[in-house]
Each structure stands twice: as C-alpha cells, then as structure tokens.
Structure 1
C-alpha cells in the first residue's frame, strides 16, 4: 500500500470520527428522574423495579435513532413530602432533570405536581393514587397514568356491592392517598345503595392493625374496606386472617394491592380477595413478554402495575419529546403527549384527557385459591374487564380548573 493510500485511509477515518462527534453533539439531551420509595412500604411494588422499567423503555425506544440522548436517574423520597420536594427541586434546578416519573405516596405526588408546574417541567405519575392529581390539583404539566382512587372505587366498590356487601367500615391510612380512596369509595357505595357504618384512621406506615380490625369486626359491617396499600395492606390482610374475620362472614375489600403483596401473603391467606388493577403480567402475549424480560433484570420478580405504568409512560413521553425535538418546555411536552394517541404492549391503545388522566381499561381480579395456581406468580384470575370509558371518573366530575366548562367523557 502506498503512502498516498495510507493518508487517504487516515483522512477517511478522521472524517468518520468527526461526523460521529458531530452527530453526538446534535442529540437532544433528555434526563428522566424516577422518584419513589426504595426503603419503605412501597419499595417492592415500585422501587428499583420502576427504575428498571424506565431503562427498558429507553432501550426499546432507541433514542439515538430519534435524535435523543436519554439518561435515567433515581432517588428515594422515603414517603415524605419534604424529602420528595427537596430532591425534585435539586433535580430541576441543579441536575438538569426534565421529567419526574412514578412517585407513589399521594402526599408526595401532590407536592411534586406543584413544583413541576412552577419549574415548567413534566410530571408523569404512575405510583400515586389520589384522583386529585386530575381534579383540584391538576396542572398543565402532569399526566396521571396507571390508576387512581376513583377507578379503584368504581371497580372494587361496585363489585362488592353487587355481591351483597351493602354495609361498610373503613380502615384508612391517614394521609392523602388513604383519605382520597375512602372518599371516592364511600361515594360509590352510597350512590349505589350502600351504607358506611363507621371507620377508623390509622398511622402511616403502620405495622399493627389489631385494634383497628377488632373495631371493624365489632361494627358488624358486611365489608371492611382497606383504604391503604403496600405493606400496610398486606399486614392488615394477614392480621385479619389470623383473627378469622373473613372466616366469620365479613368480606375484606383490598382497595389497592400489588402483585408483590399478594405474592408475599401467599394464596392461603389472599385467596378470594377481590381487587382492581390496570395490569397483570399474564394478561396477554405482550404483558408476558415484558414480564419475562423484566424478570431477567429483577430475578424472581414479576412487574407490578406501577412498574408497568412507568415503562409505558416513559415510552410515550419519549415519543412526544422526539416529536418536539426538545424536552425543555414541560407543558409543551405534556400537551404533545395528550395530542398523540397512546399505544404500547402493556396497556394497548389509549388516550390522555385534557385533565391529564390516561384512559385505558381496568380489571377486576380475584386472588386464586392455592389449588388453582400453577406457579409462584400465577396469582390472579380476571373476573371482569372494565371498559376505559367506565373505569375512570368523568372529567366533568373531577373539578380540574383547566377544563372547567369542557364536555367531559
């Protein structure tokens, strides 16, 4: 090979490197923060699994092919609004985070929604439950993806009433989520001919429900509604089983429970529980394929609905950012998310309403009996599919000031 050929090859390599560097410089930087409980009552149902789900979504989206360079960071809000607010402000002000995802614990979620609006970033909630995020506390910067307290009330509340559970007693976690879940379920119960005979509010978090369960048992209510979640819900169900409450004829309404909680309880304790959720790993080929990939990264775990919501919402967020070729204006990104129909392998096709509520079907599940289960995570059977338009509260009833006067569906 001549010197001239060597020089030509060297120049060609330098040009290629220069083009690659120029291409990398042209990529739009996007930074996503997954903020959740990594050490408390929701660590198993959100936690690291939600971070894994977000990273899977980024990989599946192939951001460089869309002109983006995406980074995912994470933090523990410890279920404390002040901690969550401090992390979020640091992320937005110092660390260049463009959007916050997940955020279980409604009191934290409500705080993040307001900070996000103030900073004009994007908040895509999956883990928090309060329907106020698309009601009085709605903002142009928030999307509420996976479920909410109104949908849980519509699903489990109505199902228990249909089965003869007309009188209710609530055991309610004393913070934003529990209070909203009791409120929304009580409204469904009373609207459909039921009666609330009493209730008690419990500390959050709380390891011992003995005295509260004994009060519920003494009330004689046909249904004891657990307006809590995570390890609190699991502890309450386990202790109710030990007291023989269900065996005595009273029904337990697990108003929010994750598959990780059912798995932890075991079907001997959980069998027969009815509950509402938007996702189950064994629903169809798409959910099963995702669960198989997820489990390779989280050995021995199947994804919860909250983690599935993080995956699906991250995908849709990135589609909107790619369409705008920018993540800097959070309200503009959220507006684009609402404009674009949603479509992913876990929730299928859907829409995001003007109030920020993501619309998709919900499912009424029952925990299987041990004899019905074919494996460690074969835990649910579908009792009913609740169509999207029936699952969530009508927009006209939510009180979102952004959509006042709009026709709602």
Structure 2
C-alpha cells in the first residue's frame, strides 16, 4: 500500500484529468440500444485511502465482466469509463452529472458513502442505474433509497450484526468505537449501538477522526482508558491499517481489550501484514478462497491486476455482468425495463449465486464471519482468512418489515 503524500489537485484537474474511457469494440449493436452503445462508468477512489480495496482493481473486475459478456453477446458494443472522485461528494456528483449528460447508462462501485448519497439523487432524477459496492451507510437503501440505486455488496447493518451478536454472546459486552468522521463512520457507530442495545451489550463511547488522518494516538488512548472490553474500528483502507499498526505500537495488543475491524478488506490485511493483523475479526460478503469458482475468478483477476480481488472488486464484476445480461436479454438499455429484468432474474455468477434484489434495492446474499490467520497458518499467498461461520442471507439483513425506504413503505400502505 502506497503511503506517500499525493499532491492536491484542483477541481478542474480532478474532473477533467480523472476521466478515462476504454472502448470494447464489437459488431454494430441493436437500434434498441440508445446511441448504439452501452456506456458504463466506474466511479471510485483511484488514488487515495480506498484505492487498494476498489480503485484500479474494480476497473480490472469490470473489464473481466465485459470480456465474459462479449462471449455471450458479441453484437453489443460497450464502452467503459473511469473516474476518481477523490472521496469528495461534490467531485463525484459533478462527474456523474456529466456522465449522464453524455449518455452513460449505468454507474458502478462508488466506494464512499458520502459520495454515494450525493449521486443517489442524480440517479433518481435522471432515471439511471447506480450499483454500489463498498458503501456502508444504510440510508442508500433506507430513507434515501431510489429505484435506480442498488446495493450489491453490504451495508453497515450486515457488517456489525454478526460480530456484535457473537462477541456479546461470549461476554464481550462493553464496546468503544474509533470511527471515520463522515457518513459511513457515523452511520456504522449508530447501527452498532442500536444492535448492542438489542442484544444486551453497551456502548461506552466513540471518537471520530478525519478521513485523511495519520496519527491515531489520542483516539487509541481514549479507547484504552474507556474500560471497554472491545475496541471497534469503524474505518477502512489506509485508516484501518494505520490504526491497527499504532494499536500494536502502543502495545495495546497485549492488553485485555479485543480489537474488531467492522469493515475489513483483504488489501488491508496485506498492507499491515499477518503479524500485525492476526486475530482480527470481521464480516465479509465474499472471499476469493471460498470454493473452486471463486478461486478461478481470482486467478484471472490476479493475472490482470497483480493482487487477489477484494469483496468490492468481485461485486463490481457481478453488478456489471448482471446489468449487461439484462440489456442483452431485452435488446434494450431502457432503464425501467432493464431494472425490472435485473430484479426478476437471480444472479448467476461466482459472487452471489442465486441472489435476488429486494424491493429496497439490496442484493440479498450470504455473508461470512472471518478471522485473520496467524502467520504460521498461512498455507498460500493472500489466503489470509479463516471462515468462522457463514451468516445466511435470511439473518444477514434487517427485515424488510423494518425498512424506512419510501419504496417499501409506500407499497405497504
């Protein structure tokens, strides 16, 4: 993971310079497809704290989806565009607004919760599909849901429910939170505190750090003095890597508190190393070493990207491929018809076989409670997780009956 300082860019440079496009040529497509081409935009963090877990790897995953799609629909022309939102909601919204004006049909990934909330309204307004990967805030499929906004990976409820239920059941009932100070982190702490209350646990407090923070000493000392049994980290990417490294520098690993990474990605573990990460517990929607199908995709992905895929990157493949298959089946890119087809058709791939979209826009699939291996347990490169248990789809999600998504509540009336 690259920790070098990056030069700030102006808004103009950010939007104009970050946009790239790759055209995958095929024979002329049907006249039912507007402009004769399907345009898909991959919007994420290409250069900052979340770039390893999504970034160029998500682009590689989308390219593999397009490669597989060409095998089943060679007559459809697809163009892939890529942009870096730099974890800034205004930049992300400006890029997506421009893309939609230029005929982009579907946007995937997004990565950042604040950016997701900014672009969700654009998808609703322009009637364009946006699929979200590493976006944690429950508001995307809750009170700010849209028919065009689809959560393909997880939300904060999925991520916190499993660890909290398991650890509180083991007597680890007092928690303190170190969280990123933006929509994702604050929502994750709120979801965690709600879940703790429901299972008999207790929050002893929380502290929030800026997204670009490098020194976590004051936050860790507050956690240490809180009297909690668990210190939960509601951050990700470079933030989590730095937090856990400094946890060990303060020798907190030898104490009685248990560290929990509420949002943990394979690249985070790779960045901090097994000696530092060993024993961390978290939830993931997908892991490359689950079965033969996941390993086959990982082998292709590694050949293209030079690293094993994270769950967000695998979900980008799945979302793009599922969308394109719906377009091909209909011979049309009409948003309403494509959405209806996507919702009616179960996912058929290595990521979430048999998964279906719910009324609130969540793709409902299984999750896995995992723990990072000890260095001596590593039997092959990148195989960092022990799967402790599968969290079945029927318990991984907040019940639809409790949803505050207007699409659901309006239908219930």
Q: So what's the TM-score if we normalise by structure 1?
A: 0.91
Q: 1: CA distance between counterparts of 2:30 and 2:110?
A: 31
Matches within 5 A, 1:18-33: 24=28, 26=30, 28=33, 29-33=37-41
Matches within 5 A, 1:15-164: 24=28, 26=30, 28=33, 29-62=37-70, 65=73, 67-93=75-101, 95-164=102-171
Which whole-Å deviations, capped at 9, do the CAs of 1:376-409 have from their partners, x for residues lacking one? Answer: 31210100100011111112222000011657xx
- Cα separation, partners in 2 of 1:242 and 1:22, compared to 1, 3 Å: closer
Matches within 5 A, 1:240-389: 240-299=247-306, 301-327=307-333, 329-389=334-394
Q: 2: CA distance between counterparts of 1:82 and 1:313?
A: 25
Q: 2: CA distance between counterparts of 1:331 and 1:142?
A: 12
Task: Give the conservation status (yes or no) of the 8 Å contact 2:27–2:76.
Answer: no
Q: CA deviation at 1:326?
A: 1.8
- Cα separation, partners in 2 of 1:343 and 1:220, compared to 1, 3 Å: same
Task: Give the conservation status (yes or no) of the 8 Å contact 2:73–2:328.
Answer: no
Q: 1: CA distance between counterparts of 2:364 and 2:85?
A: 27
Task: Give the conservation status (yes or no) of the 8 Å contact 2:26–2:74.
Answer: no
Task: Give the conservation status (yes or no) of the 8 Å contact 1:154–1:391.
Answer: yes
Q: CA deviation at 1:157?
A: 1.8
Which whole-Å deviations, capped at 9, do the CAs of 1:275-311 have from their partners, x for residues lacking one? Answer: 0001111000011000000010112x00000000000
Q: 2: CA distance between counterparts of 1:23 and 1:298?
A: 28
Which whole-Å deviations, capped at 9, do the CAs of 1:313-345 have from their partners, x for residues lacking one? Answer: 111111221222222x33432232111111211
| Larger-Rg structure | 1
Task: Give the conservation status (yes or no) of the 8 Å contact 1:167–1:197.
Answer: yes
Q: 1: CA distance between counterparts of 2:254 and 2:197?
A: 26
Q: 2: CA distance between counterparts of 1:117 and 1:406?
A: 18
Task: Give the conservation status (yes or no) of the 8 Å contact 2:49–2:237.
Answer: yes
Matched residue of 2:196: which SS?
helix
Q: CA deviation at 1:22?
A: 12
Matched residue of 2:145: which SS?
coil
Q: 2: CA distance between counterparts of 1:334 and 1:205?
A: 37
Gaps of 5+ in 1: 1-20
Establish whether residue 182 from structure 1 lines up as the match of residue 186 from structure 2: no
Task: Give the conservation status (yes or no) of the 8 Å contact 1:396–1:406.
Answer: no
Q: How many residues align?
A: 384
Matched residue of 2:131: which SS?
strand
- Cα separation, partners in 2 of 1:116 and 1:349, compared to 1, 3 Å: same
- Cα separation, partners in 2 of 1:318 and 1:163, compared to 1, 3 Å: same
Q: 2:228 maps to what in 1?
A: 221
Q: CA deviation at 1:233?
A: 1.1
Q: 1: CA distance between counterparts of 2:394 and 2:260?
A: 23
Q: 2: CA distance between counterparts of 1:22 and 1:339?
A: 28
Q: CA deviation at 1:374?
A: 1.6
Task: Give the conservation status (yes or no) of the 8 Å contact 1:136–1:401.
Answer: yes
Task: Give the conservation status (yes or no) of the 8 Å contact 2:371–2:388.
Answer: yes
Q: 1:204 maps to what in 2?
A: 211
- Cα separation, partners in 2 of 1:63 and 1:47, compared to 1, 3 Å: same
Q: 2: CA distance between counterparts of 1:304 and 1:203?
A: 24
- Cα separation, partners in 2 of 1:72 and 1:244, compared to 1, 3 Å: same
Task: After the TM superposition, list the runs of 4 or more consecutive aligned residues in structure 1 that deviate by more than 3 angstroms.
Answer: 25-28
- Cα separation, partners in 2 of 1:206 and 1:179, compared to 1, 3 Å: same
Q: 2: CA distance between counterparts of 1:331 and 1:108?
A: 24
Task: Give the conservation status (yes or no) of the 8 Å contact 2:30–2:331.
Answer: no
Q: So what's the TM-score if we normalise by structure 2?
A: 0.90
Q: 2: CA distance between counterparts of 1:22 and 1:182?
A: 47
Higher mean alpha-carbon deviation, 377-386 vs 317-326, is at 317-326
Higher mean alpha-carbon deviation, 40-49 vs 150-159, is at 150-159
